[in-house]
Structure 1
Amino acid sequence: MSKNIRVLIQGTGFAGQGHAQAFRFAGAEVVGIVGRTPKVVQQVASDMNIPYAGTDWQQALIDCKPDVVSIATPGGAHEEAIQQAIEFGCHVFSDKPLTTCGESAKKLHDLAQAKKVKTAFAASFRYMPDVIHAKRLVEAGVIGEPLEVECISHFNLERSIPFGWSHRKEDGGGRLSNNFTHKLSIVTSIIGEKILSIMGEVRDDLGKAPIVEGVHNFKNRRDYIPDDLNDPSLKWGESNVEWSYTVLAQLESKLATKPVSVLFKHGGLHPRFNEDHIVIYGSKGAIYIKGHYASGPLYVYDDNKQWVEVALPEDIVKNIPDVEGDTERNWRYLIRELVKDIKGESVAPYQTFKEGAQYQQLIDLIRKNDNWVDVSHLQY
């Protein structure tokens, strides 16, 4: 494909604007943006110099004739828009979660395959530089045979963040959809993509959140926390998603003789005492990456039984997209790969709707919370 790749964006908030900038970074032409509110979408289009602004997605597909669409709305709004875009013959970049249930996510994957369009699924924190470095070190045998992985994070989110899509399962909310997807992507990129088995437990420790008008940008939602949470006129919305989860998984690795055990432990509302981290344990050593999404630095437990910080290789540093913010940088990395693929250039495998459908089916299984064994009748 020699002509400019034309992109239509759905969503005007933080993600929509970030996707638009990422596609421009990759050399594509952003021809239009669609949102729910005329005034907002027109303002964003003007600010970002996007020529077309609209509120009707189907009409925008007709008017803009995009080669690829970018879906940057909450998960509950993805299915119909993606289906329409695929039927229109567009390639699709979608933020996570792909949809709100495994069945609908699989239908989109199947449709994309049938229509032979390319897709990308933005569980994109596998592109963190230290994750790429860790993958290289594991493949080089630095820690021997990989045995276990441990992912620990506590976000200490404010319980009074205004009620919105993140509180509702039907809108794509929940920590599994918006945290676990990234963690699973990180681990599979390092260990291996084949997930053999999984089980988990989830908790909703929030219950409710205040309903506040005017929240548009997800990143600024804390600015709208009410000053007086005891105001009798304040309305409240009920949460129906998990805010904490514990997941155990087994992954296949070409470097291991047995399945690699993985622990994912996340507390969305709980404070951390020590650093969030990801650790890969092996038969000869270990790799520790600081940060809940492996922001670094990276340490290797070496032959001297010491944790030694290891700097990023220069080639990884040079390949990092130049933008502030981990989320924005990882979007640029993945979108760059998608654009190259659409152009017919050679690229490494990246996550598609195959993983989007797989992850959502796994989330459905974990949310069943049915892995408990009743031992109350045992005598001690």
Structure 2
Amino acid sequence: MDKKLKVLISGTGFAGQGHTDAFRAVGAEVVGIVGRTPSVVRDVAKKMGILYSGTDWKQALIDCKPDIVSIATPGGAHYETIKQAIEFGCHVYSDKPLTDTGESALELYELAKDKNVKTAFASSFRYMPCVIYAKQLVANGIIGEPVEAEFISHFNLERDIPFGWSHRKEDGGGRLNNNFTHMMSIATSVIGEKILSIIGEVRDDLGKAPIVEGVHNFKNRRDHIPKDLNDPSLKWGESNVEWSYTVMAQLESNIATKPVSVLFKHGGLNPRFNEDHIVFYGTKGAIYIKGHYGMGPLYIWDENKTWKELSLPQDIIDDQPKVEGDTERNWQYLAREFVKDIKGESHTPYQTFKEGSLYQRLIDIIRTNGNWSNVDHLQ
């Protein structure tokens, strides 16, 4: 396939513009962009140099005839958009979460299989350089058999961020959809893709948030926090989704004789004292990565019984897209492998709607807060 693949973007915010840059960087042609608000989508299209813009997704599919659609809206708006694109015969690149329920996510995965279109699921922090290095180290037996891993993060998000999609389950909000998806993706990338069992507990620590008009770019939402939160005319929206979670899982590893225990602990509103981190423990050592999404640096506990920082191998550095921002770089990494696959070229394996639908079903299970044992009678 020598011709440029044509891409239609759904979403005009930070993700939509990021996806546009990612696909252009890997040689695809962005032929159109669709959003909800006519004036906004026109302005973004002009700024990004995209010739076609509109608010009617189905009409855009007809007019642009894309090879790929890139879904860059909140998860609650994904289902119909993706379904129409698959039925139109497009390959689909979707940000996480895939949808707002496990049932609808599974339906899209099955539909994509039936229509024989390729899909990519952008829980893409598995492409962080230190995560890729950790995967190599574990596979090479540096820590022996993996036995345990932990993912600890505290984001200290402002409680008064304006009410929006992130506060609503039906819109794809919640910390499981927008944090756990990345964490599980990193865990399976390093340890093994098969998830054996899971249990979890979630909390809504927030309750409510101020309703403010004019918030468009998710990254700039903090700029819209009301100056006077005691203003009696201020309206409030009710959160119905988790802001903190604790999840335990067991993963299968092809170099371990027993299931690997994994702890995911995230406090969206809680302050951190020390660094957020990821750790992989084995029978002979351990790997520690600073940062909630494996930003680095990476340390190893070796035979000398001390922590030692390791520099990234040059081949991993050279393979990373040359773009500022972890999120933007990871989007481009995935877009590169996705485009290669569509063209029939050699590529690195990537996550698809298979994982996207699985993660959504796992989130549904975790949100039930099930399978805890009552021990009051023992005390």
- TM-score, normalised by the number of residues in structure 1: 0.99
The one-letter amino acid of 2:59's match is Q
* Pair 1:280-2:294 in alignment: no
Residue 308 in 1 paired to residue 308 in 2?
A: yes
Deviations along 1:268-303, whole A, 9 cap, x unmatched?
000001110000000000000000000000000011
Aligned-pair CA distance for 1:375: 1.4
- 1:217 corresponding residue in structure 2: 217
State the AA in 1 paired with 2:259. P
Query: Which residue number in structure 2 is paired with residue 167 of structure 1?
Result: 167
* Structure-1 residue corresponding to 2:25: 25
Q: What is the match of residue 325 of structure 1?
A: 325
Deviations 1:150-189 (A, max 9, x none): 1000000000000000000000000000000000000100
Q: Matches of 2:312 and 2:376 in 1, distance apart?
A: 51
| 2:109 alignment counterpart | 109
Match of 1:351 in 2: 351
Match of residue 11 from structure 1: 11
What residue is the counterpart of 2:2 in the other structure?
2
Which residue of structure 2 aligns with residue 258 of structure 1? 258
User: Structure 1 residue 348: deviation in Å?
Assistant: 2.1
State the aligned residue count.
379
How many Å separate the matches in 2 of 1:159 and 1:187?
Answer: 29
Q: 1:44 offset after TM fit, Å?
A: 0.6
How much has 1:374 moved relative to structure 2? 1.2
Over the matched positions of the two proteins, sequence identity in percent amounts to 77
For residues 167 and 52 of structure 1, the distance between their equivalents in structure 2, rounded to whole angstroms, comes to 32
Residue 294 of structure 1 aligns with which residue?
294
Report the 3-state secondary structure (helix = DSSP H, G, I; strand = E; otherwise coil) of the residue aligned with 2:328.
Answer: helix
How far apart, in 2, do the equivalents of 1:100 and 1:14 lie? 20
How far did residue 36 of structure 1 move?
A: 0.5
Q: Distance in 2 between matches of 1:228 and 1:372?
A: 42
Q: How many angstroms does 1:372 deviate by?
A: 1.5
Determine helix, strand or coil for the equivalent of 2:315.
helix
Q: Offset at 1:84?
A: 0.2
Summarize deviations over 1:117-142 as a string: whole Å, max 9, x none.
00000000000000000000001111
Aligned-pair distance for 1:373? Answer: 1.0
Task: Report the equivalent of 2:178.
Answer: 178
State the AA in 1 paired with 2:256: A
Letter in 2 for 1:343: K
Name the aligned partner's letter for residue 354 of structure 1: K
Q: How does 1:33-72 map to 2 (within 5 A)?
A: 33-72=33-72
The alignment partner of 1:58 has SS state of helix
Q: Distance in 2 between matches of 1:151 and 1:376?
A: 29
Amino acid at match of 1:37: T
Give the root-mean-square deviation of aligned CA atoms.
Answer: 0.5
Paired AA for residue 40 in structure 1 = V
Q: How many Å apart are 1:371 and its aligned residue?
A: 2.1
Distance 2:231 2:44 in 1: 34
Deviations 1:173-223 (A, max 9, x none): 000000000000001000000000000000000000000000000000000
Task: Report what 1:142 is aligned to.
Answer: 142
Distance 1:251 1:70 in 2: 30
SS of residue paired to 1:97: coil
Whole-Å Cα distance in 1 between the matches of residues 249 and 366 of structure 2?
Answer: 11
> Match of 2:377, SS?
coil
Shift of 1:377: 1.9
Distance 2:30 2:286 in 1: 44
Q: Point out where structure 1 has 5 or more consecutive residues left out of the alignment.
A: none
Aligned mates of 1:216, 1:89 — CA distance in 2:
30
Distance 1:156 1:111 in 2: 39
